[in-house]
Structure 1
Amino acid sequence: MIEHCWHHDHDILEIRPVAELKPAEFRALAAQVDPVICQHGALHGLLIDARNFRGWQNFAALVSNCVFTRNQHRHLHRIAVLSDNTLLAFMPQLLNHFVSAEVRPFPSDAEESALAWLAHHG
């Protein structure tokens, strides 16, 4: 399951994977996000709160995650990843090869710093 909320008047999207991710969840999230992108033209930031990330249900869910990221990255300026997981700490370096947005990792207790970095227009 993916929970989400908006910050800074729909300028920053926060997503929180809280269970194993399934393909349908990315389609449902895109249905929520796409209208906001159409209305605002872009998102300044995406905060991925991966502190409780449990992985993907199957390979199809991983592919759905990649498709969602590929479709949305053109509309993002920055992506912040919150996690203390050493494997997920490599996520920003991996994402930098596939997305045009600037990606940066943050320790799990640095949510305010991550939001401040995402909100900074520079």
Structure 2
Amino acid sequence: MLTVNLNAVAGIAILQPDGELSIADFKAASKIIDPYIESAGKLKGIIIHVQSFPGWDSFAALISHFKFIKEHHKQVSHIALVTDSAIGSFAENIASHFVSADIKRFAFNKLDAAEKWIITGEYQ
């Protein structure tokens, strides 16, 4: 399951996976994020907040994840990976070659720092 909390005032969506990701998770996230992007033009940031990366429940879910990234990366200014998972460093390095957003990794307990970075651009 993927919980999506949209702070419309700050323009930040916080995505919190709990268990393997599914196709339905990405469809649900789009239903929350897309209307905001349509009205505001852009999302300031997406925060992926997860202790350790749960993976996908199927190959189709992985493809759905890539499709979600392809459809949204140009409308997002910042992506914060707030995780203690080793995949966070890997994702930060690889994703920076494929998405237009600025990407930074933060420790799992640094959610506030990630939000501050998206809002102010200050990175500690």
TM-score between the two structures when normalised by the length of structure 1? 0.93
Q: How does 1:33-112 map to 2 (within 5 A)?
A: 33-112=33-112
1:7 aligns with 2:28: no
Query: In the alignment, which residue of structure 2 is the partner of 1:21?
Result: 21
The share of aligned pairs that are identical, in percent, is 30
SS in 1 for 2:19: coil
Unaligned runs of 5+ in 2: none
Contact 2:96–2:103 (8 Å) recurs in 1: yes
Contact 1:5–1:15 (8 Å) recurs in 2: yes
Contact 1:77–1:102 (8 Å) recurs in 2: yes
Q: What's the offset of the Cα at 1:54?
A: 1.2
| CA distance in structure 2 between the partners assigned to 1:116 and 1:55 by the alignment | 27
Contact 2:74–2:99 (8 Å) recurs in 1: yes
| CA distance in structure 2 between the partners assigned to 1:96 and 1:37 by the alignment | 21
Q: How many residues align?
A: 122
Coordinate RMSD, CA, aligned = 1.5
